[in-house]
Structure 1
Amino acid sequence: MISFPKITQEKLLQRLAHPTKKVRMVLDTDTYNEIDDQFAVVYALKSPGQLQIEAFYAAPFHNELSDGPADGMEKSYQELQKIAALLPEMSEVPIYRGSTGYLSGAESPQDSDAARNLVERAMASPEDDPLYVVAIGAITNVASAILMEPRIIEKIVVVWLGGHALSWPDTKEFNLAQDLHASRTVLNCGVPLVLIPCMGVTSHLLTTLPEVREFVLDKGEIGKYLYETYEKCAKDHFAYSRVIWDIATIAYLVEESWLPNELVHSPILSEDFRYSYDASRHFIRYVHFVRRDRVFRDFFSKLEG
C-alpha cells in the first residue's frame, strides 16, 4: 500500500497561501479537447511577470474529438506544438507527452514522459520554492507522478480546474469524472491543492465572438489563431456565448482577489461523483467565485504585448 508523507498543518497552510513571488509552474493540459485550453496556454505565456513556465504536459481525454485517451493526449501534444510555432515565448519551453490511458486502480500509475518529468522537476525544487502544477484536464498525469514518487507532495502545489461547486447537486464534471482514481488520489493524498470548480464558479467566464473579434483578432498570429478557434466552436454565434473555463487557473496565480476563495476540508469523492465531508480531513483552498471582467481585462491587455 502506498504511503504518502504527512505535511504538517502549518506547512500545508503556508503552501495554500497565495504565492508572494514569481511562480515556477508546469501546465498540464488536454489542449485539443476544448477551446479554453488554448486561451489558458497563451494567457500563461503572456504573464511572464508573475509566471515562469518550465514545461507543458499533454493530458489524455476521450470524447467525440478523440478515439480514446491515447488519441486525445496525442492530439493535445500536437496542438501544443502548433501554439509553440505561433508564439515565440513558447519556443524554449519543453512539451511532454502524457498518459495514454487512465488509472486502472487506486495505486496504479500510468507511466509517461510527463509523469516522469514532473517527478524529476518536483524533486529538484528547493524547499522554499515549490513547483506549481497547474492542471486543466483529467488529473491523470499529476496523480501518476504522485503515486510514482509520493514525496513530491512536499515539493508541489496543485492548482486544478476540476469538479463543480461544492453546492452543486453532483460533481460529474469532464476533467474530474474521466479518471475517478486519479481524482481521488489528488483529493486524498494530502498534496497542497487549490480546487477551482466549473459549474457555479468558473462558469462566469463567458465571452462572445464579437468580444473576441474586438479584443483578440488583431493581436498578431496568436490573436488570429484564438479568434479562429473560437469562431469554429459553434455554427451559429447569434446570442451565443462560450465559457473559457481554464483561464481561471492562470488568473488565480496572477491575482488572488479576482478569485475569492476559502480554506475547506478536502471533500470525499464517491463513485457516483458526489461529495461528502469530514472535518478531520486536511485543508485545501477552494475558489468560490470569479470576477469575470477583471480576468478578461487582464487577458485582453496582455495580448497587446
Structure 2
Amino acid sequence: MTNIPTPERVVEVAAPRTWSLGEAPWTGTEVLPPRYRVIVDNDFSGDPDDVFQLAHHLLSPSVDIRLVVGSHLSEGDGFDPGPDTASHAVLVAREVFSRLGLTDDDRIVLGAQAAMRDPRTAIDSPAARAIIAEALRDDTDLPLFYAAGGGLTDLASALLMEPSIASRLTVVWIGGPEHEGFAEAPPGGSAVEYNLAIDVAAAQVVFASEATIWQVPRDAYRRCLVSFAELRTRVRSTGPLGEYLHDEALEILRGAVAHSGRGAGEAYALGDQPLVLLTALQSPFEPATSSSDYVVMPTPEITGEGTYRHVEGARPMRVYTGFDTRMMFEDLYAKLAEHAAWQRAGGR
C-alpha cells in the first residue's frame, strides 16, 4: 500500500523550490494558456499508480487542475484496509504536492468515506459540493474533464444533488470490466472489476446520467506496463520525487511476492496514466485524443452485479482500446527529469 504520511512528514519532505499551478518554471519557456479544466479523482492511499498519475497531471500545464478529490477505497481493501481511506487519500495527495513544491494544496478536497448505499441516495461531502461549484461556473468556457482513477462516489453524489452538471463535463474513467466481443477477463480476474467494485451504485448513477463518458476498461489499462528497470533508470534516478514514486511502486512488488508466494515479474502497471494522455496530451491542431484508439458504443446499464446490460437507443460513449504508451511514459519521464533539475538548481 502507499505509505500514509503524517501531517508532520508532509512538511518535512517539502521540495526546496515552490511554484503554483499555471506555472512551469522548470521548462524555461513561456507557459501557454490551458486548453481544459480537469478535476482529478483518485484513491491515493491505494495502488501507487495513483501518485504517478497525480504528479504527471500536476506537471502538465496544458490543463488547469481545478480540484484533486481524495476518494475512498473498498472496505478492507488490501492496499489500505482503512478506516477513513478518503482522509488517507487527502494526506497522500498533500505529500505529492509538498514533494513537488506545489503551493496550491487548497485544491485538494475530501471525498466520501464509504460507498453509496443505493443509486438514489447521494453522500454529501466537501468533494461533491466542490464538483458542483466547478461544473456550474459561468466565468470560463474551458471544457471540463472529470479524470477518475478509482470509484465514482463523489461524482455520482454530485450528479444526484445537481443533475444539470451532467451536460457540463466529460468523465474519463479508469474502470469497468471488458466489453463482450473486444476482450476477455484476465486469468483469475476478479468477478467485479477493482474500481467498479469500490462503488457499484455510483457507477450505475454515472452511466445512467447524461454525462459524456470516455471509459478505459480493465483490458485497456492493464496494457499500461513499465518495467522496473525503467522505473529505476528513468524515475528513481531523477531525484527525491522520483525516489519516492519508485519506492512506493517497489513496495507493491514486494507485497505481491509475499502474497503469491512466487516472483511477481519485472513489470508494473501504471494503469491510471491514460487520464493524463487523454486530457493533457491531445494533438496540437484540431485537438483530439489522436494517439489513442477507441470504439463508440451505446452506453450500457451497470447491473448490481457489476456487469453490463445493453440499453437500446442509449447515448453513445467511448471505450478506449489502446494508447500511445511511448509518448505517455516518455512525457512522464521527461517532466520528472526537468522538474528535478530545476529543483536541484535551488532558490525560487
CA distance in 2, matches of 1:275, 1:90: 42
- Deviation string for 1:87-125 (max 9, x for gaps)? 124645521110011111221011111111111111114
Indicate conservation of the 8 Å contact 2:47/2:79, yes or no. Answer: no
Tell me the TM-score normalized by structure 1: 0.86
Cα deviation, residue 271, structure 1: 2.1
Cross-structure match for 1:109: 122
CA distance in 2, matches of 1:37, 1:260: 23
Cross-structure match for 2:202: 182
Paired letter, 2:121 = S
- Deviation string for 1:284-305 (max 9, x for gaps)? 1211112322321221122222
CA distance in 2, matches of 1:184, 1:238: 34
What do you get for the CA RMSD once the two structures are aligned? 2.1
Cα deviation, residue 33, structure 1: 0.6
- For residue 250 of structure 1, the aligned residue among 276, 281, 302 is 276
CA distance in 2, matches of 1:294, 1:258: 9
Indicate conservation of the 8 Å contact 1:206/1:243, yes or no. Answer: yes
Paired letter, 1:226 = L
Partner SS for 1:81 = helix
Cross-structure match for 1:295: 328
CA distance in 2, matches of 1:142, 1:151: 13
Over 3 Å counting, the alpha-carbon distance change for 1:78 and 1:127 in structure 2 is: closer
Cross-structure match for 2:25: none
- Deviation string for 1:228-254 (max 9, x for gaps)? 111211226773211110011111111
Paired letter, 1:224 = E
- Deviation string for 1:268-287 (max 9, x for gaps)? 22222221223400111211
Q: What are the within-5 Å matches in structure 2 for residues 55-134 of structure 1?
A: 55-62=67-74, 63-68=77-82, 71-89=84-102, 91-92=104-105, 94-125=107-138, 128-134=141-147
* Long gaps (5+) in structure 1: 1-20
CA distance in 2, matches of 1:268, 1:161: 17
* Long gaps (5+) in structure 2: 1-33, 186-190, 258-262, 283-288, 339-348
Match status 1:221 vs 2:240 = yes
Over 3 Å counting, the alpha-carbon distance change for 1:282 and 1:126 in structure 2 is: farther
Match status 1:286 vs 2:319 = yes
CA distance in 2, matches of 1:143, 1:129: 22
Paired letter, 1:251 = L
Paired letter, 1:278 = V
Over 3 Å counting, the alpha-carbon distance change for 1:210 and 1:238 in structure 2 is: farther
Q: What are the within-5 Å matches in structure 2 for residues 230-245 of structure 1?
A: 230-235=249-254, 239-245=265-271
Match status 1:149 vs 2:162 = yes
Partner SS for 1:132 = strand
Cα deviation, residue 71, structure 1: 1.8
Paired letter, 1:122 = A
Cross-structure match for 1:13: none
CA distance in 2, matches of 1:43, 1:177: 26
CA distance in 1, matches of 2:194, 2:109: 22
